[in-house]
Every structure is written in structure tokens, then in C-alpha cells.
Amino acid sequence: MSGQASELRPIVVAANWKMHKLRSEALEYLEDLGTWMDDHPRGLGTRVEVVVAPPFTSLELAVEHRPPHARIYAQTMHQSDQGAFTGEVSPAMLRDLGVDGVLLGHSERRQYFNEHDGALSEKVVAAAEFGLRAMLCVGETLDERQGGRAEDVVRDQLQTALSDLDVIKATSSGLSVAYEPVWAIGTGETATAEIAQGMHATIRDVLGSIFTAEIAERIPVLYGGSVKPANAAELLGQPDIDGALVGGAALEVESFSGIVSAGLDLVAGAGV
């Protein structure tokens, strides 16, 4: 069940700042992005959605200075609403700040902080319960791809992490999935558009088996792996690629807005 890009799914372009930007730098970025978005209103917030995911120290500032039509996401969270979890942040705390959503299972969280799919299953459910839009990240390592296990790895990640999310929450919570081949993050390497599309089609098939085909057609599936203005149009032009989770190129408004522009151009060209 391979989807066809349509009005059912928006194009979502997300800026993951990772551990970058002091508050003063964050404010300058948000103001500059807001200015750019004011100048490019057509399609923003409807067919093209912009997400900014700052570090925790700038979340409240980002909510207060949210660019027009943009959503603010946290980069991670704990699954409990409160408790003795030193250093963690709960979904209740994020909602209290006015945050819109949260990245879950980013490859760096998996690699450096031992996040596993069992915990992510709890986090996806907790995000939905607190009205946070979860963006679940999945992807394979270079060894897994070279060993011919890429699709199996991604399928297992999805099935485990989403197994406890009921159908109603899946449709109403704003769930999205970001495919990030680990071997293409921060390396300058990018999966070809054909490779990325193939995995995105697989992801949509798996989503259909977990939920329903109709629901799967409505869940945006983003590509994350060295997305830049130069390759954004080709990637976003694939039928099952519904946006981009951007790391390095998201740290400057000029390059990030170039990727958003590619999405706007695609929508304008499609007439949807």
C-alpha cells in the first residue's frame, strides 16, 4: 500500500536544533524565521507545516516567540507525568509550557542514551494522553543495511513502539514518523531518493498493518538524513515522503527556509 502525495497529508519540515543555541541565539533565529514566514504565507500552516525543536532551555522562549503557523516540539521526554526521575522532563511539564509536540526515539537518543522501543511505546502513548504530537524516529545502522536487515529493523521498531497506541489516538494525536537512516545523519551521506522512497513505502505499509490503511494514508512520514536545500525538492517529490527532519541545515534560517521553500514549491506545483 504505497501512498500518493495528496491533501490527506501535509508536508512537515522540522528543525531539530539538537544541543545548539543559547537563548539569545534562539530568539534571533525565531525572529528571523518569523520574518521569512510572514513573507511566504501561502500554504504555510495548512499544506506545509513548520516545526522547531529547540533544547529544553529555549522551549519556553520558543513558545512565547513562536513564528506564525509554526509548531514547537521538545526533543525528548519521560513517559511519566511526575516522579523521582532526576534530570527528566514530563509530558505534563511540556504541556504546561505550551509545547505542541515531541520528538521520540531520535537515533542519537537511542545510541547515546539507551532509549529502546519498549520505553518509546510508553512515551508515544503518554504524549497522546497529554495532547502532544509525537514524531517517532526510526532507522537502521550501516551494518544493518549492509546485512540486508534494514526493513526488518524499521518494521520491528514501528511495531514495538506503536503497539499500545489505539486507533483513535493514532488518528487524533497528530502522530508522525521520521525515517532517519543512521548512516546518513551528520555524515554528509544521503539515501538516494529511490532508497528513501522505498523505505517510506514500507513504513506506510507497516502503519497500515498496525492501524488501518486509511489511517496510514493520513500519517506524515518524514525523511531525516542530511537533508539540504539542494536535495530537498527531489526527496519531497517522492509519493511517500511527506517532509523532512532537518539537523545541521536547520541551524541557519537561510538553509532551513530553503527546505521549507522546496515544500511550498511542490505544493504550488501540484495545485493542492
Name the residues annotated as catalytic: 106, 180
Say how far residue 181 (Cα) sits from the centre of its chain.
13
Q: Are 232 and 262 in contact (CB under 8 A)?
A: yes
Radius of gyration of the chain (CA): 17
Give start and end residues of each alpha helix (H) in 49-130. 59-64, 91-97, 107-113, 117-129
Rounded distance between C-alpha atoms, residue 32 and residue 100, angstroms: 21
Interior angle at CA 131, CA 95 and CA 98, nearest 5: 25
Rounded to the nearest 5°, which phi and psi values hold at 264? -65, -40
Q: Return the bridge partners of 3, or none.
A: none
Burial 211-231 (b: 16+ CB within 10 A, else e): beeebbbbbbbbbbbbbbbeb
Interior angle at CA 147, CA 145 and CA 151, nearest 5: 50
CB neighbour list of residue 35: distance below 8 Å, 6 or more residues apart: none
C-alpha cell at 58: 529555549
